[in-house]
Structure 1
Amino acid sequence: MMEKFDTSDLQVLLKVAKVNSGKFLDTMIGYYNKIFQISSAETTTIYMDIGDKKRTKGDFDGAIRAYKKVLKADPNNVDTLLKLGKTYMDIGLPNDAIETLRKFVVLDTTSAEAYYILGSANFMIDEKQAAIDALERAIALNSGYADAYYKIGLVYDSMAEHDKAIEAYEKTISIKPGFIRAYQSIGLAYEGKGLRDEAVKYFKKALEKEEKKARY
């Protein structure tokens, strides 16, 4: 008579697999699925967890493989699409990030973070208007999104539209007064306009912020 296998043992084995970097995990899941009929939701959870752990450890290729396993089972899993898009950005693959995040925003139009990352990815490939459109959408969803204002400022600066850049940077520091790079960027934008005195004023402000930060 075959000994009855306690399904709790399955959870232990899967945890062991995850600890060991997911080695042979596909084979293990397939094997135990035949025996215990692991649900697709459980399989998705396992791969999602592995992807998160690998991304945290800097194993971005491993994270991407795990997230793709989730999406193979559930192509409309928005959490995974967002994580995959962010991971592509982690390793400097903006085109892949854009493709992934475009799928995301079709399914979920309410994520300011997704539009911010989409805007950042478009900026990386010099699609400046697409970047601005996405970043403005992020701000429309979250009016206090300092990073999005700052990124729009960078886009405008790259287009030599210094007045619009300064306006965006000023909005950034109105939301986040300790955003040192925004003060530096305002200084550089004024330098680009040929307004040296204004530039120096903001460079000094940036230095003061840095010194204050160093004291705490």
Structure 2
Amino acid sequence: GLVEAEIRKFRATKQHNCIEEAQRWLRAAESLNPDSVGVRLAGGLLKETTSQYEKALEDYRRVQDLEPRNIDALLRIASVYDKLDMPDKAVEAYRKAIEMDPAYYEPYEDLGEFYYYRGQYPEAAEQFQKTIDRAPGMFDAYTNLAAALDDLGRDNEAERALLRSLQLRQTARALNSLGVIRAIQKRDTEAVRYYERAVAINPGSYVYLLNLGDSDRRVGRLRDAKIAYRKAMDLALAELKENPRRGYVRAFVAYFAARLGDTKRAEDEISQAVQLSPADNEVIRRAVLTYEALSQRDRAIQAISGAAAEVLRELDRQPDLADFRQDLRFQYLVTKAAKGG
């Protein structure tokens, strides 16, 4: 519907007027039939996008009352539980959606993303493969699988999945992911070319701009790196304004602040991000990278004190953490996690 379209546009562009338009379309729909399934789903999505998670749950549960077998409602309930850091309830909702229609690809895809952002890469890869099995023409599913394989250190398999994705469609996500692989391989000049192509397709992604800035910085293009970080910061702040309870976004703001020389803001933002989303893999990763950029090694070590083995393995491959990896405390945590301790 029109509400969902405006929210998708907001997520792509971070333009505040998209939220205002979504609110206007929702009011119009509510004036006609306020308790229909479509209106309740749209209202819940708008509330979820603006951090009104508890109110979003009310809308989604009402959809369940109206249509007990509505899979979209279950998937959105799972998404809200994830944002509220209630992982057990999120997984339960995802599993119910899968049981409702085992042949439908989307619950597997969403569950895979849930596992991925919590650093459970083997589980994520399994769900993404199940997505591909049910929808082999979905280019994004191959990109998702590649991300999980890459974080598991299976670079060759990840690259094959990305090339398959690009055969189906040239996307910014796949190009960005190929850039990540090249950066891990210490081939930043090649990585920059992939990132530039990704940004050309989607200039509204602060993640792509972050990666471009990082590779520019590592090859000595410091002015270009600052420009990329500043653009990325503006985009992340726009998203944070609409959704202030998302630790994921706040963690990126912290990292950009660190790279742009604003130590106080970086410290404040990353502290809040960890409080909001303590189990989010990307938040943990950004915390380590932010504290390392600020030369605060003790805090970087503290950020991974309870991290899963998969997260530690991924950090062990980060191009900017070569010195961090030599720290005996990090090596101890890696060894301990590998032994299941």
Q: Deviations over 1:53-92 (max 9, x none)?
A: 1322533321212222343576543342133234445666
The separation in 2 between residues aligned to 1:53 and 1:83, in whole angstroms, is 12
Is 1:183 aligned to residue 175 of structure 2? yes
Identify which of 63, 68, 71 aligns with 2:64: 71
Superposed counterparts of 1:112-127, under 5 Å: 112-127=105-120
**Number of residue-to-residue matches in the alignment:** 172
**Contact 1:181–1:206 (8 Å) recurs in 2:** no
C-alpha deviation, 1:105, in angstroms: 0.5
C-alpha deviation, 1:204, in angstroms: 1.5
Identify which of 167, 170, 187 aligns with 1:174: 167
CA shift in 2, pair 1:67/1:160, >3 Å: same
Greater Rg, structure 1 or structure 2?
1
CA shift in 2, pair 1:122/1:208, >3 Å: closer
The separation in 1 between residues aligned to 2:113 and 2:200, in whole angstroms, is 29
The separation in 2 between residues aligned to 1:203 and 1:112, in whole angstroms, is 33
CA shift in 2, pair 1:91/1:52, >3 Å: farther
Report the TM-score, using the length of structure 2 for normalisation: 0.43
Work out the percentage of aligned pairs sharing the same amino acid. 20
Superposed counterparts of 1:1-216, under 5 Å: 46=36, 49-57=39-47, 58=50, 59-71=52-64, 75-89=68-82, 94-177=87-170, 179-193=171-185, 196=187, 200-208=189-197, 210-211=199-200
CA shift in 2, pair 1:88/1:171, >3 Å: farther
Q: Deviations over 1:96-146 (max 9, x none)?
A: 332211001111012212211011111122222221111111111111212
CA shift in 2, pair 1:212/1:188, >3 Å: closer
| Runs of 5+ unmatched residues, structure 1 | 1-17, 23-41
The separation in 2 between residues aligned to 1:89 and 1:200, in whole angstroms, is 37
Q: Deviations over 1:145-200 (max 9, x none)?
A: 122111111111111111111112212211221x2232232233134345x3xx63
Q: Secondary structure at the match of 1:140?
A: helix
The separation in 1 between residues aligned to 2:167 and 2:88, in whole angstroms, is 32
The separation in 1 between residues aligned to 2:137 and 2:81, in whole angstroms, is 26
Report the TM-score, using the length of structure 1 for normalisation: 0.64
CA shift in 2, pair 1:149/1:210, >3 Å: same
CA RMSD of aligned residues (A): 3.3
The answer to which of 139-148 and 124-133 deviates more is 124-133
The separation in 2 between residues aligned to 1:65 and 1:158, in whole angstroms, is 36
